[in-house]
Amino acid sequence: MAPSAALPKPGGGLSWNWLGVAPFLVFATVFLVLPTSYLMVGAFQDPAGHFTLNNLRGLFDDNVINAYWISFRISAASAIGGGVIGFLLAWAAVQGQLPAWIRPTLMTFSGVASNFAGVPLAFAFLATLGRVGLVTTLMRKYLGFDLYSTGFSILSFTGLTLTYLYFQIPLMVLIVSPALEGLKREWREACDCLGGSSFHYWRYIALPVLWPSIMGAMLLLFANAFGAVATAYALTGSSLNIVPILLYAQIRGDVLHNPNLGYALALGMVVITGLSNAGYIWLRSKSEKGRT
């Protein structure tokens, strides 16, 4: 190592250049790649270190598969809800011919709100829709309607989805706005000139152009919700059995009574978030190709 580093430029050019990114690569290996790989490998081993598929089989135990299923539903619901609402908001701001100040305001706010996640977000929704939250109280007082008598609870599937939307919608706005900006005004005019209605415009022009961006963004939202721990933990404690919470409990105190099953749980999470991110990247390259 040392002699090659000391070589003059012509001979050792390559190794010199590699040296420039070495600190970064070492850091990424030690603090990102190795820890994750350790778990991924451990998922295929028994406690003695022998290869096994039993841990993966363990993922299909009722308790674990249930957690995956609830996580999947919450992530999908918040991704689809966030995707649709975020798209409508972005469309309104970009294409809706509203006053000019709306758009920068929405973008700035989205930047803030998409980062306002974690524990404080849970507090905000408890103060809004919790049992003594403002909206709950006002509805009871003025509309005579008890939200909680309908079976609603902020600590439930619906409540958590509603809370996740608070960072999912703005994220969607931020991701999909550039694609909406790419819609040319002439397309709409051409459609109008040919006697097409709004429906025709959306059905045959806008949506075919936009769908890869929309789908891709939703996959990203899905992965985003799937890995989130803090909001759910602060909101529901451990009462809601979702994968990140289960994994949290497993790390804290081996609730599954099998460390290697914990690794498999982590592997499952990485596979799911990895696949949705891969889908996002694939769809994004597709939409970029379509635009040129």
Partner 1 sequence: MKPASQSTSRLGAWIAIGVGASYFLIPLLATFEFSLRMLRGEYSFEAYRVVFTDPLFQATFGYSIMMAVITIIVGVLLVVPTAYWVQLRLPKLRPLVEFITLLPLVIPAIVIVFGYLRIFNSSSWIPLTGNERATDFLLVCSYVTLSLPYMYRSIDTGLRAIDVRTLTEAAEVLGANTFTILFKVIFPNVRSAILSGAFLTFAVVIGEFTMASLLSRPAFGPYLQLVGANKAYEPSALAVMAFMLTWASMGLIQVFGRNAKNATKP
User: By CB under 8 A, what part of segment 119-158 binds partner 1?
Assistant: 119-128, 133-135
Tokens of 187: 């397309």
Q: Which residue type sits at 145?
A: F
d(CA 176, CA 170): 10
Closest CB to partner 1 among 53 and 135? 135
In the region spanning residues 151 to 210, those forming contacts with partner 1, defined by CB under 8 A, are 165-166, 169-170, 192, 197-198
What is the distance between the alpha carbons of residues 65 and 69, in angstroms, rounded to a whole number? 6
Does 249 bind partner 1 (CB under 8 A)? Our answer is no
Residues 36-75 that bind partner 1 (CB under 8 A): 36-39, 42
Q: Which of 218, 213, 215, 248 is nearest to 75 (CA)?
A: 218
> Which range, of 3-11, 61-69, 107-115, 282-290, touches partner 1 by CB under 8 A?
107-115
Residue 82 touching partner 1 (CB under 8 A): no
The nearest distance, CB 133 to partner 1, in angstroms, is: 6
Q: Does 10 bind partner 1 (CB under 8 A)?
A: no
Residues of the chain by 3-state class (helix, strand, coil), percent to 5: 80, 0, 20
Among 32, 53, 65, 207, interactor with partner 1 by CB under 8 A: 32
Q: How far apart are CA 80 and CA 92, in angstroms?
A: 18
CA 20-22-25 angle, 5° bins? 130
Interface residue with partner 1 among 56, 139, 205, 234 (CB under 8 A) is: 234
Q: How far is the CB of 208 from partner 1 (least distance, A)?
A: 19
Q: In the numeric block, which tokens belong to residue 42?
A: 């451990």
Residue 45's SS3 state is: strand
We find the least distance from the C-beta atom of residue 158 to partner 1, in angstroms, to be 15
Which position among 5, 21, 65, 190 is part of the footprint of partner 1 (CB under 8 A)?
21
Residue with tokens 């460390």: 259
Q: What amino acid is encoded at 172 in this protein?
A: M
Q: Which two tokens stand for residue 25?
A: 């690569």
With CB under 8 A as the contact rule, which of the stretches 143-151, 178-186, 204-212, 229-237 interacts with partner 1? 229-237
Q: With contact defined as beta carbons under 8 Å apart, do 149 and 95 qualify?
A: no
Least distance in angstroms from the C-beta of 115 to partner 1: 5
Using the minimum distance from each CB to partner 1, give the nearer residue, 93 or 209. Answer: 93
